[in-house]
């Protein structure tokens, strides 16, 4: 159901008349409109601030072209788009029907033939979407509609244009909804592209929701939900035997062990009675190119996140999740095994000895351990060949020589953002993190020592630069969402924080492994 236009809303967009609002979110607004022939359409208008660079428009244009190749029989057909318009917009078929989310909310969980029809309908749509070389990226009950003639899946593919350009999807954002995100999407240090296997995981979560009225990893918060996705088996109660096995396979934490959409559909149509699926290659990003099958591996992940707010772009499939923690974990040790299945152990004492194992870690594994908050790190200022350090009185952060405990830090993951905790605490019971402060007598914000409390001044995001330092370590821009980029002044030899606009940052940072933490960060 559409809502009235607001006083400041346009009444036309290109050749389309705007007649109402369908939703609004962090990336734009969705309008109900009419084409020149009077047909109702859904028009997704991108916010201008997300579309000011040619890179975004090029990706947007590419994804629109891909989405147009998806057969429309079980999806909302892409009708038109204008990436060059100010602002860009996308026009899709208007599907007048309730969503799966609304249906379950209003009438309760599905069962029997109704549940099986939804499972088949979504799998059919994914087969068409993946067959066209597109990945949905935000499959959830709100994007599954009961339309005339059957199930329709909406809002596919275009999210990549936002997700793939860091200037428009900041590192404190993720395209998707936490409860339906595959485990691999929560690992910022992994570096692997999103593949269609993430959509299969979402299929399993959506079908489980349809049967139970709750997601298979449901918890009290998005943070707890993410941890369960990473470490716990799904709750599949309420699923009939004919679907339980397929849903369980789809929710495998290893992408290569999930079925493809085609395999999923074939098994559903066969009643789920089929030999176990073989491990098969997972295609790269949106190009479905066969590749040699990788050996299955279990990745160790640790994530501590809390969702402070989510903004839904209704009908556009773009959800922005801001992860904020109440406080950094300081009294629980969590370890995840690398055995055939994940196991979690929690204790108030120190972690089990790991120094000997750390010596055998690869460079990539060390970087991943730093990002997960399980290893100590030096934070290297690449352009200065210096390392972040607390100055003698702990009030400011300087460029040091990398020696001593004042130069050692640990990242405390907050979803895709971090607290940066100093490992040399000035007093018993007090923890110090990096923060941003604007001195009264200065214009520039400075990087300082602050209490380890999650505030806008202590949360930082890491943006990969695509470059490497002289030791072949990946480099990052270090950003405060509230105050700007952390920069290094070559002339004054100081660190400062400044909003950049469209300018490039004057500093990049790499992370030097200093071994496992004796206790969790």
Catalytic residues: 138
Other CB atoms within 10 A of residue 137 CB: 27
DSSP 272-318: T-SPPPPP----BTTB----PPPPP-PPP------EEEEEEETTTTE
**237 near 211, Cβ under 8 Å?**
no
Report the distance separating Cα 454 and Cα 506, nearest Å.
Answer: 26
Closest-CA residue to 122 (of 209, 60, 40, 232): 209
Tokens of 106: 């209003």
CA–CA distance, 250 with 234 (Å, rounded to integer): 11
Determine the 3-state secondary structure of 263 from DSSP. helix
Alpha helices in 83-196, H assignment, sequence order: 100-107, 112-131, 159-163
Could you give the angle at the alpha carbon of 289 between the alpha carbons of 284 and 293, nearest 5°?
Answer: 75
Q: Is 214 helix (H, G, I), strand (E, B) or coil?
A: coil
Q: Which two tokens stand for residue 405?
A: 């405990």
- Cβ atoms of 322 and 305 within 8 Å: the answer is no
Element (H, E) at 19: strand 16-25
Name the nearest CA neighbour of 141 among 153, 125, 126, 133.
Answer: 153
Rounded to the nearest 10 degrees, what angle do helices 241-250 and 112-131 cross at? Answer: 30
* Beta carbons within 8 Å of 307's beta carbon, 6+ residues apart: 178, 221, 222, 223, 321, 322, 323, 324, 415
- Helices 197-212 and 112-131, axial angle in degrees (round to 10): 160
Q: Taken in order 496, 497, 501, 503, is the CA torsion positive or negative?
A: positive
Q: Is the dihedral of CA 427, 430, 431, 432 positive or negative?
A: negative
What are the tokens at 283? 């295609």
The CA-based dihedral angle spanning residues 15, 18, 24, 29, taken in that order and rounded to the nearest 10 degrees: 20
CB under 8 Å, gap of 24 or more: what pairs does 142-145 form? 142/99, 142/100, 142/101, 142/312, 142/314, 143/99, 143/317, 144/99, 144/100, 144/101, 144/118, 144/206, 145/76, 145/95, 145/97, 145/98, 145/99, 145/100
**Nearest to residue 155, comparing CAs of 219, 209, 213, 77?**
77
Question: Which residue carries 């400041």 as its tokens?
Answer: 8
């Amino acid at each position: 159901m559409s809502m009235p236009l607001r006083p400041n809303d346009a009444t036309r967009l290109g050749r389309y008349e705007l007649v109402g609002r369908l939703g609004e979110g962090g990336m734009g607004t969705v309008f109900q409109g009419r084409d020149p022939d009077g047909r109702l359409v859904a028009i997704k208008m991108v916010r201008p601030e997300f579309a000011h660079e040619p890179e975004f428009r090029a990706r947007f244009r590419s994804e629109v072209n891909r989405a147009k190749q998806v057969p429309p029989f079980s999806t909302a057909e892409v009708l038109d788009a204008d990436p060059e318009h100010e602002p860009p917009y996308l026009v899709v078929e208007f599907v007048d029907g309730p969503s799966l989310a609304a249906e379950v909310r209003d009438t309760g969980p599905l069962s029997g033939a109704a549940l099986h029809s939804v499972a088949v309908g979504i799998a059919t749509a994914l087969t068409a979407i993946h067959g066209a070389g597109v990945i949905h990226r935000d499959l959830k009950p709100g994007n599954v509609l009961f339309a005339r003639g059957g199930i329709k899946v909406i809002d596919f593919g275009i999210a990549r244009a936002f997700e793939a350009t860091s200037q428009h999807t900041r590192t404190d954002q993720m395209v998707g909804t936490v409860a339906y995100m595959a485990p691999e999407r929560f690992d910022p240090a992994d570096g692997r592209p999103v593949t269609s296997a993430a959509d299969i995981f979402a299929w399993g979560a959506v079908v489980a929701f349809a049967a139970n009225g709750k997601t298979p990893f449901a918890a009290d918060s998005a943070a707890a939900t993410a941890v369960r996705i990473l470490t716990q088996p799904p709750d599949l109660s309420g699923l009939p035997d004919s679907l339980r096995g397929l849903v369980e396979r789809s929710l495998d934490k290893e992408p290569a062990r999930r079925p493809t959409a085609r395999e999923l559909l074939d098994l559903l149509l066969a009643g789920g009675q089929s030999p176990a699926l073989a491990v098969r290659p997972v295609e790269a990003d949106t190009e479905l190119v066969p590749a040699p099958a990788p050996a299955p591996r279990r990745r160790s992940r640790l994530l501590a996140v809390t969702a402070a707010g989510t903004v839904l772009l209704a009908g556009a499939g773009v959800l922005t999740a801001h992860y904020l923690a109440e406080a950094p974990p300081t009294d629980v040790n969590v370890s995840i095994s690398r055995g055939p299945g994940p196991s979690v152990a929690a204790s108030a004492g120190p972690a089990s000895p790991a120094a000997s194992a750390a010596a055998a870690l690869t460079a990539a594994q060390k970087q991943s351990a730093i990002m997960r908050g399980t290893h100590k790190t030096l934070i290297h200022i690449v352009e200065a060949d210096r390392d972040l350090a607390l100055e003698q009185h702990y009030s400011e952060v300087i460029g040091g020589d990398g020696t001593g405990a004042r130069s050692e830090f640990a990242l405390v993951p907050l979803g895709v953002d971090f607290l940066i905790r100093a490992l040399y605490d000035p007093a018993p019971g007090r923890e110090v993190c990096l923060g941003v402060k604007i001195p009264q007598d200065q214009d520039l914000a400075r990087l300082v020592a602050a209490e380890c409390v999650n505030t806008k001044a202590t949360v930082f995001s890491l943006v990969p630069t695509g470059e490497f330092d002289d030791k072949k370590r990946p480099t990052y821009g270090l950003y405060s969402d509230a105050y700007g980029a952390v920069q290094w002044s070559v002339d004054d030899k100081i660190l400062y924080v400044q909003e950049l606009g469209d300018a490039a940052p004057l500093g990049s940072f790499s992370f030097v492994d200093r071994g496992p933490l004796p206790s969790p960060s």
